[in-house]
Amino acid sequence: MRSGSSSTGQLAAARRCSVCGAPAVAYLPYARLALCKTHFVEYIDRKVGRVLRRVSALRPGGLIVAAVSGGKDSTAMLASLAKHARSSGTRLLAVHIDLGYGDYSLRSREAAEKACRELGVPCLVIPFEDVVGVSVYELARRSRRPVCSVCGIVKRYVLNALAVEAGADYVALGHNGDDILAYALKSFLNQDLGYIAKLGPSTETVPGLAVGRLRPLYEVFEKETLIYVLVSGLPFLHEECPYRPQAPIEQRLKEAMNHLEEEHPGLKISALRRLAKNVKLYERLGGGGETGRCRHCGLISAGEECSFCRLTRRVLGEPAGPRVRTWLRERLEELGLRGGAPGGSTGGLHVRGDQALGETKRGQEDTRGGA
Amino acid sequence: MVRVVAELLPDRRRVEVELEKGTVAELLERLGLSREGAVVVRDGTPLVEEEVLRDEERVLVYRAASGG
């Protein structure tokens, strides 16, 4: 960085921390707080802790599976969750799904594994193409569906299957407050009220079929997760997925909400807290929906076949759910993590992340083909 | 007048911007970014909106709503 011939010179910090008076790295208008690095991290960790306590996510011997992409949100989520897990005796297993999107996936995986190593959290990498025999892109191409939609089905399925096999209490996701509001607004516009019902800080576990999802960053905004990883010095990948549409509607909704928030500080946090209170109401309005068991893999399904088994059966000729479950079971056994009942297994989880658990070799060729 | 070089992430686009007051808030406004949706970083440290940038300074501008 060039120092230049600045006429302003080295300026005093524009704002001082409301707690200790050190130079501030963030000002949060909705909380009327300026915070230095230390107190900013503490503030976010407290917010995360409140959400975790509200949904009783922490318990000695409990297990949380944390989905990590290598991006800022899941990295911040993992870092904060690791602190709370450690102090409460809750076990934590990070999982990264290698989606096979060429160099982007390589860099994502590197960032995720590095963050796990630095945080001392064991990391299971799931190389999707090696496990299922076909890439996510190929599944999308052959089923004539958008990559994002197929990617969503794959991630939801694999994470849930892993959590069920491990007997985990929760699957923790890196959704931040801005994500939740954008999903809720989009669902409202589509009048998909049943989906809004799933947008609370946690969703419920259906024993044997589905493990509840947990959103530790429910009240943490996108800008805050970014500042959190920056001031914590954590490795993360700040890159767009190559398959991301040019202007997804969620992005526009976030921008609109941010403009409103600038004019009306506190709008977003109030909306989130009210949403969290009303999810049960949306569940009734949305009609709930039947919970079934997939006849192929035995996991949760709206009908008699889950969306992952249906998709893979149509493309590959046979459903891939059972194969995925077997692969995960074997990896968990290697890790000493085959749970069954929550809290049922003990050993293995305190291994360090740098032991690169459950990896298999895979070709790193770009799977985008002629797209 | 303060001239700063902003590297936008994740786009990896570099732009030179001339600012009147030279604040972070002014830079974001000139780049068409919301204060709620972007973070300006100097030497790895996030800056608050009132921070005044130095002439010829290079900063990173992270768009928060990306690369989650």
CATH number at residue A260: 3.40.50.620
Q: Answer yes or no: is A19 within a domain.
A: no
Cα–Cα distance, A105 to A85 (Å, whole number): 28
Reported ipTM: the value is 0.96
The pLDDT value given to residue A350: 39
pLDDT at B19 over 80: yes
Q: Answer yes or no: is A126 within a domain.
A: yes
Cα–Cα distance, A307 to A158 (Å, whole number): 12
CB < 8 Å to A242, chain B: none
Mutate to test the interface with A, among B13, B14, B36 (most CBs of A within 10 A): B36
If you measure CA to CA, which chain B residue comes closest to A174? Answer: B68
If you measure CA to CA, which chain B residue comes closest to A251? Answer: B65
Distances in Å between the alpha carbon of B62 and those of A15, A94, A218, B6, B45? 20, 26, 21, 10, 12
pLDDT digits (tens, 9 = 90+) for A282-300: 988 877 667 899 999 999 9
In sequence order, the β-bridge partners of residue A150 are none
For residue A192, the tally of other CB atoms under 10 A from its CB is: 14
Cα–Cα distance, A104 to B15 (Å, whole number): 25
Percent helix, percent strand, percent coil in chain A, to nearest 5: 45, 10, 40
If you measure CA to CA, which chain B residue comes closest to A265? Answer: B36
In sequence order, the β-bridge partners of residue B62 are B9, B39
Q: Which domains can be identified in chain B, with CATH numbers? A: 2-63 (3.10.20.90)
The pLDDT value given to residue A339: 60
User: In terms of Cα–Cα distance, which of A160, A251, A165 is closest to A214?
Assistant: A160
Contact assignment for A231 to B46 by CB distance below 8 Å: yes
Q: Please tell me the total count of domains within chain A.
A: 1
Low-confidence stretches of chain A (pLDDT < 50) are 1-10, 341-371
Q: Answer yes or no: is A321 within a domain.
A: yes
Chain B contact present for A103, CB below 8 A: no
Q: Answer yes or no: is A368 within a domain.
A: no
Distances in Å between the alpha carbon of A172 and those of A64, A85, A88, A159? 7, 12, 16, 10
Q: Answer yes or no: is A192 within a domain.
A: yes
pLDDT digits (tens, 9 = 90+) for B26-60: 999 999 999 999 999 999 999 999 999 999 999 99
Chain B contact present for A19, CB below 8 A: no
Q: Answer yes or no: is A4 within a domain.
A: no
Mutate to test the interface with B, among A6, A10, A268 (most CBs of B within 10 A): A6
Q: Which pairing describes strands B13-19 and B45-46: parallel, antiparallel, or unpaired?
A: unpaired
Task: Using CB atoms within 10 Å of the CB of residue A298, give its burial: 0 to 12 exposed, 13 to 18 middle, 19+ buried.
Answer: middle
**Domain of A334, in residue numbers:** 46-240+254-342+351-355
Q: Answer yes or no: is A8 within a domain.
A: no
Q: Answer yes or no: is A211 within a domain.
A: yes
The pLDDT value given to residue A62: 96
